[in-house]
Amino acid sequence: MLNFKLGAKAMLIACLIGFFITSCSNQDGLEEAGSLQNAVVDNSTTQSSQTNYNLLGQALAGAMNESPAFRKLLKKEALKKFDKDYDILYHMIKDVSVSNDQTVRDLLVSHFENPADLERIEREEPLITLFIPKLPEFSAESWDIDSDIPKVAVYQKEEDDLIFYSNEGAESIEMPEGAVPAFPLIVLKLNERVVLSNSSIAGGRSLAIISDSFSFSFIDDSFDGTRQDDGDEDDGNTEIERWTPTPNSKLRTAYSAYYWNTIQWQRDHIYYNLMPPNTTRGRLDSRYVETISTLAFRNGIAPTTAYNRISDHSGDPDRISGSTRWSGSRFPWIEGNFEFVITVIRNGRSGGSPLVKRFPVQAEELFNIQYTRDSPWSQYYITNISLKAFRPNLEISTWDLQEYGMTWKYQVSEYDPIQSTTRSYTHTSEFANNFSLKAGLFEKVELNFGTTNKTVDTQTMTVSTDFGNDDLGELEVRFDAPVIFDNYNPGSGPIYGIRSYDTGWINMTIEPALFGNP
């Protein structure tokens, strides 16, 4: 049995467990299976979920050792990133042929002493998932299936420990504090991006999986790997400010009119095409959508402080052997993605309702990471991290000013589910009343609030949240706030600055973006 205990925030388990097993969640992932599976399966009278994971972990290690074809299949499936991470849902592959009419299930069952154990696991653990972490010397992309036979890591809740399985059984691996494995590794965990379709939190597309007993859906469509990712390529920029020479032409026109005091609200032109003196009324241009174009931790926040805020574990860098080694913390780059939640509170004429957007963020999209190998040991240390900006291009919603108020509140958190709860929020917003019906469609009449009186409305909304989520603050965006706040010309043409907003932890640039046909 592996002897790999935590010692006062000391050992590698602090680095590994949180991100290997629960995608930046709390360490009770196995215990949470019941709630995430929507209580479809009653495990109270069956063998423990822990036993199920351990048995499958041992069988998985034996199957990978036996079959290069199985290793090839796992690499292929992980690279699909069906949930935008290197996850493989067991029920997606169990009936896939490995070779010679042998399925994954056939191969695995041959490594069980009692074949009925696999049947029970399939019934009791519908969300069990194989995850391939991104390590300095191993990843789904770099996996050499001919020579690399990964170990299988399974978290042990009661011992607060890890077991590593190989073909020989459970292995004892002694590693110093703060180390990152330099050997091939696969993790068994609970999938937090997919749920059973009858779950109350199933809000995304259903998966086309043929299963005896279950159907599956994404929690949110933002985790659907088949959807096109509109995020920009990583440009390595560490600054949150978004300066661009090529904003949308409509944004440039709106800024020019704003600069010359022709209009005061840039969104009047962007959403309603208003441009005096010729155009003083217009219909909503629903092709434009409020979009989070940039997200980053606020400049001035120490990288370790930023990391610890979203990883639920404190710890500072220790000075060891003349070099800075990050220890006593869990680092996300040895697992999968963070999962951010944006909740938009907006008052509506027909009543307010929160708009919730979930989306994955890779650790490398928020931090620049430097590893150093500690020779001759099979481990790495993270010796430096710094902040960087992420370009998610996350669609929020069209700002229909006839329906929604002047102010939208954005609440930001990192998703760490422990227990769901509901909270009430009271939000006050102004409403513009300068709209009239023409041919069955509303038109905005005149700029700003026009000659009509604006109204003020206060509404209370109920928002479902999760205990354990890492609160990253909130901000407000007003319809009349400038989208482009400035420009300058370095000699090669004008550069435009998109306004940013600050939650105290996070900076975001939010701008209308064109998502329909121009």
For 397, half-sphere exposure in the C-beta direction (CA atoms, 13 angstrom radius) is 19
Closest C-alpha among 237, 217, 113, 221 to residue 169: 113
Residues 184, 150: contact at Cβ < 8 Å? Answer: yes
- Residue by residue, DSSP assigns 207-258 as P----SS--EEESSGGG-TTS---PPPP-------EEES---HHHHHHHHHH
Distance CA 200, CA 16 (A): 30
Residue 236 has what pLDDT?
41
CB neighbours of 326 closer than 8 A, spacing ≥ 6?
178, 304, 315, 317, 381, 382, 383, 385
What element of type H or E holds 459?
strand 455-467
Provide the total of helices (H) and of strands (E) in the chain, helices listed first. 11, 31
Residue 201 has what pLDDT?
67
Quote helix, strand, coil % in the chain, to nearest 5. 20, 35, 45
Residue 221 has what pLDDT?
81
Residue 376 has what pLDDT?
60
What string of pLDDT tens digits covers the 518 residues of the chain?
A: 434 333 333 333 333 333 333 444 433 444 444 344 433 333 333 448 889 999 999 999 999 999 999 999 999 999 999 998 899 999 999 999 998 889 999 999 999 999 999 999 999 999 999 999 888 889 999 999 999 999 998 877 776 567 889 988 887 676 565 677 888 999 998 888 888 887 766 767 787 775 667 888 888 887 888 876 544 444 444 455 678 887 889 999 999 999 999 999 999 999 999 999 989 999 999 999 999 999 999 988 988 888 878 875 332 233 223 344 554 444 344 456 788 999 999 999 888 778 999 888 888 889 888 888 876 666 777 788 889 999 989 999 999 999 999 999 999 998 765 445 566 778 889 999 999 988 888 999 999 998 888 888 888 877 665 545 688 999 999 999 999 999 998 888 899 999 999 999 999 999 999 986 55
Residue 515 has what pLDDT?
85
Please confirm whether the linkage preceding 392 is cis (ω < 30° from 0).
no
Residue 335 has what pLDDT?
54
Q: How many CB atoms within 10 Å of residue 210?
A: 8
CB neighbours of 7 closer than 8 A, spacing ≥ 6?
none
Q: Is the dihedral of CA 363, 366, 370, 374 positive or negative?
A: negative
Q: Are strands 185-190 and 151-156 parallel, antiparallel or unpaired?
A: parallel
Residue 347 has what pLDDT?
92
CA angle 220, 221, 222 (to 5 degrees): 90
Residue 71: phi and psi, rounded to 5, are -60, -40
Helix (H/G/I), strand (E/B), else coil: 115: helix
Residues 387, 238: contact at Cβ < 8 Å? Answer: yes
CA distances from 272 to 349, 371, 446, 473 (A): 19, 51, 10, 31
DSSP structure class, residue 384: E
